[in-house]
Structure formats: structure tokens, C-alpha cells
Amino acid sequence: MRVEDKQSVSGTDAATAKSTTGQTEVRAQADKVSLDGAKQSEAVVQAVRTNIGSDRSARLQELETSIRQGSYQPNAGQLAEKIVQAAEIDARLSVVLGG
């Protein structure tokens, strides 16, 4: 493949500008990285993980107690819905990943 057009492409890392003498100047643009919100985001994620972990532990403890006492009565409709949802997700992922 041969490229005939040698003009600059817009959106590249270098910016071009015409000077008062008519010559083209090339100015490199520096990349910028900001971590301003990283600590706040990390704190929120940690708080959510802690809250989910404690809620999950309490729910699992309740389930274990109910099962051991023989009083656990699962909702068949909810269970079937969860199985169908999981199968749909698996099928979608399989299509997306080509498997």
C-alpha cells in the first residue's frame, strides 16, 4: 500500500501552527494524568465492600440457621428466575466471546 497524501492528520499528538513568517511550527502536546478523585473513589468502593460484606454475612448466617432448623422454605419462582437469568447471561457472554 502506498500513501500519496503526506499532509498532517488532525488529532495527532503534535499541534501545528503557522508563524508570522509563514513557516509551520510544530509544538508537542504533553499528556496529562490526574488522580484527583482516586482517593475519594477508593474510599467509596471500600465503604460499599464493607457494607455488602457485613450484610451478606448476616444473611448467610440467617440462612444457615433456617436450614439447620429445617424451616428454610425457598421460593421456587425466585429460584427459577435466577437460574434463567444466569443462563441468559451465560448465553450472551458466549455469543460476545465467540464461544
- Phi and psi dihedrals of 38, rounded to 5? -65, -45
Domain total in the chain = 1
For 68, the domain range is: 38-97
Considering the entire predicted model, what is its pTM? 0.36
Q: If you search the block for the grid coordinates 495527532, which residue do you land on?
A: 12
Question: Which residue's entry shows cell 510544530?
Answer: 26
Tens digits of residue pLDDT in 37-73: 888 888 888 888 888 877 888 889 999 999 999 999 9
In a domain, 2, yes or no: no
Residue 30 falls within a domain, yes or no? no
Task: State pLDDT tens for residues 17-45.
Answer: 555 566 666 677 778 877 778 888 888 88
The set of cell numbers assigned to 92 is 450472551
